[in-house]
A and B are shown apart, each in its own frame.
Chain A
């Protein structure tokens, strides 16, 4: 408990202390050091809560108003908090190296101030136990991340991305405001504990009875929109592909690896606290499936590496929502196996995705740092020049595609198995949603594999396509070791996946009685799967040894790549990412939008031909059109805004008179 208080205190004092020094290096050392120290301190109580989930509250001797001091870590909080703190700490270490070359261009105080505030706010969101505190931490998180995204504010595109993020974030928070400030609101929302007494149009008093269906549904919808917009739920997640690429890479890693999980956390809390209706699950599965498929289709149309990663975050958020949807259906239909496995799959996938996506963003940051080039089609052959970045990026890519033997496979296995069990249960209303979830999962896995094999291959393999990819330097040691640490976590998450699932089930046990026994067969399935992972590693090692021995006594030469007899190949004729992904993007044309503009050679002496590939974000365009429409329709209201004080006084007087009349009548 004292350690947790120290953790928050270190974040906050670190934030202020980073502003003090004049020297760039001192400020970044203080800022990054405070973030890492705070994470290390917070990890101890979080890990304790993971092993023995016990609710304890940080109660102060002099309680602040509105109960703002009530923090607690239970199992669910701990499941989110442990990976969050690990990732925030490692990203801070990386960020110090990443921002080192900014010395002289700007001060180090502000980025580290906001980074530490973000760390404290995220810790607060995962541990807050009353609605007002949650809202406070939520807003602190939204604002500090906005300032971090806009670090490169000289760039117009970054400012635009920041603005989109801020608008989306505030619109989402508006729904949370209603959720958290309804009369008698509690966090997590508790059924039957004086929640929502009175104040409803239908005159229900609530009291200590269970919530009637409509208000509980309203709470769910508010949470879905409010938290879902942060989680990247389609179509509310339009900010995600804009903000992630604009932010500095270590911040992108935290945004994608940790912050979007706060949305999943919020929805999970609501689903665990209230008795779900079947339509909650159907809604979550429909929206989650749409988010996942749209997200993965979006990765195919991207030209920039970080933008591709951002779309992939959307896909994975969709997969987590599918898990939540299956869990909600399991609870609604009283099928505890599906409930335990669905929520468990979402939790395990949250952990895995956090590690893999942070690793990938750090790798993309190193590429950007080393080459100064964002577009994949200008890069190539980086593996030889950036061996650590390349190898760790490959690990992240394999993990994010859900391939064995890494952790990503374990979470997709649990999700798939949960859907399969849901399908096989004789329960109308559960089978078709389960089937849809399963199909979306498999479709996403295949498309993610296509996208990431292409992205890794185009950026790191082959020959450099442009000068930017030739004069490259490997990331400095400060950036390398966080990537190596995360890459080492990836196979560990695969081998220890039964433990991760067991921890998740343990965390769920208070809400779903007997969750551990219900998931025991899946835990043992994962244990058998890890045996096969071991077999796979052994066979791979054996085959590589065999290959080395066979080749050691042979004539091994080097030469040019087989060029089919073409005399003058150049690096420009290699497949680019857009050409690699084009056939698949064409198959999902309806989702990705127009992928290219072809300028055909024309005339007797054709001079120019070209193909420009650009995929547009249709959701964002839709929102911009909607906002434009609202703006145009509200133009008439402009007449009310005179800018003259006496007119406004007239408005006030008129309102008062109207209210008076209404009151008297």
Chain B
């Protein structure tokens, strides 16, 4: 690869990252608008999350006397991990900024690190509610992470590649024709993981207002101001990043030409917003699961990934 081509590739990856950074808060607006349509309401503005972020960044903060420096580390580390994961993820079959064999483990590991530090920040407040949230988050992460990695492994086996960019770059129409059931099962598993990781119904209800039933929201009860802005933005970024993987899997538009690269990116963005619409429909049409049933749902996602893998074993 010549230097110019490399520069073009890196520039494209940076542009795709910039699109993610700029557009991810819009996803929450789309979901809320879909939910409002279903409920027959006008709904909040599409750009509401941007307004909220701007407001939070301008605010001060109240820190609990119980907390230590861990409390401030959690949100910043969570967002930093999300940004690094964005640098790894391909959009519309086009590679991210970094790509190497086994980067799927780093992708999952970065989220795991962010989760670890968010949970410790929650425990730092000494609140029993936040301890409860942290405990649930770490519990649900175990099957969710297993489902995510096994899903990636199934895709890796379906394509014979070891990196996210390689895997998603080779998932074209021919691959769907060759092993459609496997890819469909994996997509279903990844969708469940996405719902769990981004705290949507049926795993968690972002609009709930009873601390006892919350998972993610209750972990961040004590955060305010810039810290909360980091958390909200990090959450939107996580939805964008996982959505990019899922959109790349479901929409098999691939190509090497300059026009194809652009088209792939456009399809990727369209896919992510389509996913937001689907999440809005899911949230409008069903209630949150009982907490005790959530692990079963996630173990079910793991089973879907495992089934996809079994189909591929010769």
CB within 8 Å for A416 and B132 given contacts A539-B80, A547-B226: no
Binding site secondary structure of chain B: helix
- Annotate B214-233 by CB proximity to A: 1 below 8 A, 0 otherwise: 00000001100111001000
Contact of B57 among A445, A454, A550, A581 (CB under 8 A): A550
Tell me the nearest residue of chain A to B110, going by C-beta.
Answer: A404
Could you say which residues of chain B place their CB within 8 Å of the CB of A562? Answer: 64, 125, 127, 129, 221-222
A402 in the interface (beta carbon within 8 A): yes
CB within 8 Å for A461 and B211 given contacts A544-B72, A561-B222: no
A221 to B58, CA, bound (A): 66
A424 in the interface (beta carbon within 8 A): yes
Tell me the nearest residue of chain B to A462, going by C-beta.
Answer: B126
A461 to B125, CA, bound (A): 8
- Annotate A447-482 by CB proximity to B: 1 below 8 A, 0 otherwise: 101101110111001110000000000000000000
In the complex, the answer to whether A450 meets B225 with C-beta atoms within 8 Å is: no
- Annotate B45-66 by CB proximity to A: 1 below 8 A, 0 otherwise: 0000000000001011111111
A residues 465-516 touching B (CB-CB < 8 Å): none
In the complex, the answer to whether A540 meets B142 with C-beta atoms within 8 Å is: no
Tell me the nearest residue of chain B to A459, going by C-beta.
Answer: B123
In the complex, the answer to whether B153 meets A556 with C-beta atoms within 8 Å is: no
Contact of A409 among B66, B73, B109, B150 (CB under 8 A): B109
Could you say which residues of chain B place their CB within 8 Å of the CB of A435? Answer: 153, 309, 313
Stretch from B94-102, B175-183, B255-263, B269-277 contacting the other chain: B94-102
A383 to B68, CA, bound (A): 8
CB within 8 Å for A416 and B136 given contacts A462-B124, A558-B65: no
CB within 8 Å for A560 and B64 given contacts A462-B126, A463-B126: yes
In the complex, the answer to whether B63 meets A558 with C-beta atoms within 8 Å is: yes
Q: In the complex, how many angstroms separate the beta carbon of B82 from the nearest chain A beta carbon?
A: 9
A646 to B102, CA, bound (A): 73
In the complex, the answer to whether B150 meets A449 with C-beta atoms within 8 Å is: no
In the complex, the answer to whether B162 meets A462 with C-beta atoms within 8 Å is: no
B residues 139-160 touching A (CB-CB < 8 Å): 139, 141-143, 145-146, 149-150, 153, 156-157, 160
A652 in the interface (beta carbon within 8 A): no
Tell me the nearest residue of chain B to A550, going by C-beta.
Answer: B226
A463 to B115, CA, bound (A): 22
Tell me the nearest residue of chain B to A557, going by C-beta.
Answer: B62
B38 in the interface (beta carbon within 8 A): no
Could you say which residues of chain A place their CB within 8 Å of the CB of B301? Answer: none
Q: In the complex, how many angstroms separate the beta carbon of A346 from the nearest chain B beta carbon?
A: 17
Stretch from B8-16, B83-91, B242-250 contacting the other chain: B83-91
A416 to B145, CA, bound (A): 14
- Annotate B104-116 by CB proximity to A: 1 below 8 A, 0 otherwise: 0110111011011
Could you say which residues of chain A place their CB within 8 Å of the CB of B236? Answer: none
Count B-side interface residues using an 8 Å CB cutoff.
78
Q: In the complex, how many angstroms separate the beta carbon of A273 from the nearest chain B beta carbon?
A: 30
Q: In the complex, how many angstroms separate the beta carbon of B19 from the nearest chain A beta carbon?
A: 18
A446 to B59, CA, bound (A): 35
CB within 8 Å for A454 and B138 given contacts A532-B84, A558-B64, A561-B66: yes
A413 in the interface (beta carbon within 8 A): yes
**Most B Cβ at <10 Å: residue of A401, A402, A551:** A551
Q: In the complex, how many angstroms separate the beta carbon of B68 from the nearest chain A beta carbon?
A: 5
Could you say which residues of chain A place their CB within 8 Å of the CB of B143? Answer: 446
A658 to B132, CA, bound (A): 73
Contact of A528 among B68, B100, B226, B314 (CB under 8 A): B100
Contact of A398 among B87, B116, B129 (CB under 8 A): B116
Could you say which residues of chain B place their CB within 8 Å of the CB of A532? Answer: 84, 87-88, 98, 106
Could you say which residues of chain B place their CB within 8 Å of the CB of A445? Answer: 109, 112, 145
Q: In the complex, how many angstroms separate the beta carbon of B230 from the nearest chain A beta carbon?
A: 7
A537 to B301, CA, bound (A): 33
In the complex, the answer to whether A453 meets B64 with C-beta atoms within 8 Å is: no
Could you say which residues of chain B place their CB within 8 Å of the CB of A524? Answer: 100
A341 to B139, CA, bound (A): 31
In the complex, the answer to whether A571 meets B226 with C-beta atoms within 8 Å is: no
Could you say which residues of chain B place their CB within 8 Å of the CB of A561? Answer: 64-67, 125-127, 222
In the complex, the answer to whether B98 meets A528 with C-beta atoms within 8 Å is: yes
Could you say which residues of chain A place their CB within 8 Å of the CB of B112? Answer: 401, 403, 445-446, 449
In the complex, the answer to whether B162 meets A420 with C-beta atoms within 8 Å is: yes
Could you say which residues of chain A place their CB within 8 Å of the CB of B141? Answer: 446, 449-450
In the complex, the answer to whether B87 meets A535 with C-beta atoms within 8 Å is: yes
Could you say which residues of chain A place their CB within 8 Å of the CB of B314? Answer: 426, 428, 431
**Most A Cβ at <10 Å: residue of B63, B138, B162, B221:** B138
Q: In the complex, how many angstroms separate the beta carbon of A627 from the nearest chain B beta carbon?
A: 35
A381 to B61, CA, bound (A): 22
In the complex, the answer to whether B60 meets A554 with C-beta atoms within 8 Å is: yes
Could you say which residues of chain B place their CB within 8 Å of the CB of A659? Answer: none
Tell me the nearest residue of chain A to B150, going by C-beta.
Answer: A439
Contact of A383 among B70, B84, B150, B160 (CB under 8 A): B70
Tell me the nearest residue of chain A to B83, going by C-beta.
Answer: A539
A25 in the interface (beta carbon within 8 A): no
Could you say which residues of chain A place their CB within 8 Å of the CB of B213? Answer: none
Contact of B157 among A423, A535, A574, A575 (CB under 8 A): A423
In the complex, the answer to whether B65 meets A398 with C-beta atoms within 8 Å is: no
Could you say which residues of chain A place their CB within 8 Å of the CB of B136? Answer: 583
In the complex, the answer to whether A442 meets B79 with C-beta atoms within 8 Å is: no
In the complex, the answer to whether B124 meets A442 with C-beta atoms within 8 Å is: no
Tell me the nearest residue of chain B to A573, going by C-beta.
Answer: B128
A380 in the interface (beta carbon within 8 A): yes
B196 in the interface (beta carbon within 8 A): no
Could you say which residues of chain B place their CB within 8 Å of the CB of A463? Answer: 66, 126
Q: In the complex, how many angstroms separate the beta carbon of B208 from the nearest chain A beta carbon?
A: 14
**Most A Cβ at <10 Å: residue of B67, B100, B149:** B100
A528 to B102, CA, bound (A): 11
Could you say which residues of chain A place their CB within 8 Å of the CB of B125? Answer: 462, 561-562
CB within 8 Å for A556 and B146 given contacts A417-B105, A529-B100, A584-B139: no
Q: In the complex, how many angstroms separate the beta carbon of A464 from the nearest chain B beta carbon?
A: 9
B295 in the interface (beta carbon within 8 A): yes
A546 to B101, CA, bound (A): 33
In the complex, the answer to whether A453 meets B131 with C-beta atoms within 8 Å is: no
Contact of A457 among B128, B134, B150, B313 (CB under 8 A): B134
In the complex, the answer to whether B135 meets A543 with C-beta atoms within 8 Å is: no
A77 to B149, CA, bound (A): 34
A443 in the interface (beta carbon within 8 A): yes
Q: With A403-B109, A543-B76 given, name 10 new contacts (CB 8 A).
A: A457-B120, A457-B123, A457-B134, A528-B99, A543-B230, A551-B60, A561-B66, A574-B131, A575-B135, A583-B295
Instruction: Point out residues on A near B: beta carbons under 8 Å.
Output: 380-381, 383-384, 394, 398, 401-404, 409, 412-413, 416-417, 420-421, 423-424, 426, 428, 431-432, 435, 438-439, 442-443, 445-447, 449-450, 452-454, 456-458, 461-463, 521-522, 524-525, 528-529, 531-532, 535-536, 539-540, 543-544, 546-547, 550-551, 554-564, 571, 573-575, 579-584, 587
Would you list 17 pairs from A and B whose C-beta atoms are within 8 A, ordered by A residue? Answer: A380-B126, A401-B112, A416-B102, A423-B153, A424-B156, A431-B313, A442-B108, A449-B116, A457-B123, A461-B68, A531-B98, A532-B106, A536-B110, A556-B60, A559-B64, A562-B129, A579-B131
5 residue pairs, one from A and one from B, having the closest CB atoms: A575-B131, A457-B123, A462-B126, A554-B60, A555-B60
